[in-house]
Chains A and B, each alone.
Chain A
Amino acid sequence: MNACVASFAVSCESGGRKGASTLQREQELNRFFAGIEKRALRIAEISIRDRDEALDLVQDAMIQLARKYAKRELDEWTPLFYRILQNKVRDWHRRQAVRGRVMVWFRRSGSDDSDYDAVAAAPDPMGRTPDEQLQSQEAMQSLEIALGELPARQREAFMLRTFEGLDVAGTATAMRCSEGSVKTHYSRAVHSLRETLGEHWQ
């Protein structure tokens, strides 16, 4: 009887320790998400040029990280989170491409709209009128458009390295490629952006 009570007490104690560690992990995850979510949103928004969709992608990425990778070390979370987010961005682009092909097929029977400009038609991600935009905001908008014209891998490398501040190794983990590839993508991205935006942008 005493042995039974003792084993129950031990099990309760270990359960209590587990509960405390879960609570601690929850607090750490909360801090991590709070610190990263706004930048992640802007990165996703620049990639897909739609804030509502970007919010959904960021939330999905947070849920997936909490479900599958919460037990990993803290320093692994940032690259893992961006790997999940980048996968979701890629999936979103694939879905949009399929949708676009279907829409093009339907549009053929309608009007011949050859002057369609996707960049001009894209909504302002900040949701502000041109009058309200300051010089820096215009510069950011130019940068976003230029980033949108980059190949996806170059854009990912530039945003993770420059905006999120990941090192080469972390970016390679997030992008699932070698560190050499990250350096190449990043270097090409910077040169393309500088060329597109021109000297006056700086």
Chain B
Amino acid sequence: MNERKDTAADQAFAEKAKQLFDESVENLDGETRSRLNRGRQAALEQLAAAKPVWVQWAPAAGVAAAAVFAVVLWTGNQPVDELTPEATASDFEILLTEDSFEMLEDLEFYSWIDLDEEPEETPEDEDVVG
């Protein structure tokens, strides 16, 4: 009987305490509420900052892709010097022959002669000479 009375008194006590507490919460001043709101926004910013990995790297990936695209476009429009590889090949050809090393002194001259002689080897020219 006493136990039941004690439990009821405890419950009544807790209810009054809760009521007073709720009143004190409702009576919080505007400045305190404003500071709580700012704190909440700061906490939510932390959540927004924790974005998926692909979202974090998306801007950097975009910049990198644009850079690669620009490089490809730029190199694609460059005029190719077609004479340079041919000249290099002919230089090797001359160097690999067993002729005297004296000709190395006039390497450019022999290259020019080599280029100059090529058109004469056409069949049409042979017919004219013959």
Contacts and interface: CB of A to CB of B under 8 A. Distances in A.
Majority SS at the chain B contact face: helix
A201 B25 CA distance: 20
Contacts of A67: 46-47, 50
A202 B24 contact: no
B43 A59 contact: yes
Interface stretch (B11-19, B81-89, B97-105): B11-19
A150 interface: no
A140 B28 contact: no
Interface in A31-76: 33-34, 37-39, 41-42, 51, 55, 58-59, 62-63, 65-67, 70
A54 to B, nearest CB: 9
Interface residues of A, number: 43
B75 interface: no
A140 B25 CA distance: 11
B39 A55 contact: yes
A37 B39 CA distance: 9
Contacts, number: 109
Given A41-B32, A66-B44, A202 B13 contact: yes
Given A22-B51, A140-B24, A163 B18 contact: yes
Contacts of A88: none
B40 A33 contact: yes
Contact of B47 (A34, A58, A66, A194): A66
B35 interface: yes
Interface in B19-64: 20-21, 23-25, 27-29, 32-33, 35-36, 39-40, 42-44, 46-48, 50-52, 54-55
Given A15-B55, A62-B40, A190-B14, A139 B47 contact: no
Contacts of A70: 47, 50
27 contacts: A11-B54, A22-B47, A29-B43, A29-B44, A30-B40, A34-B40, A41-B28, A42-B25, A55-B35, A55-B39, A58-B36, A59-B42, A63-B43, A70-B50, A127-B29, A137-B24, A140-B20, A143-B17, A143-B20, A161-B14, A163-B18, A191-B10, A193-B17, A194-B10, A194-B13, A202-B9, A202-B16
Q: Nearest 5 pairs between A and B by C-beta?
A: A59-B39, A62-B43, A140-B20, A66-B43, A66-B47
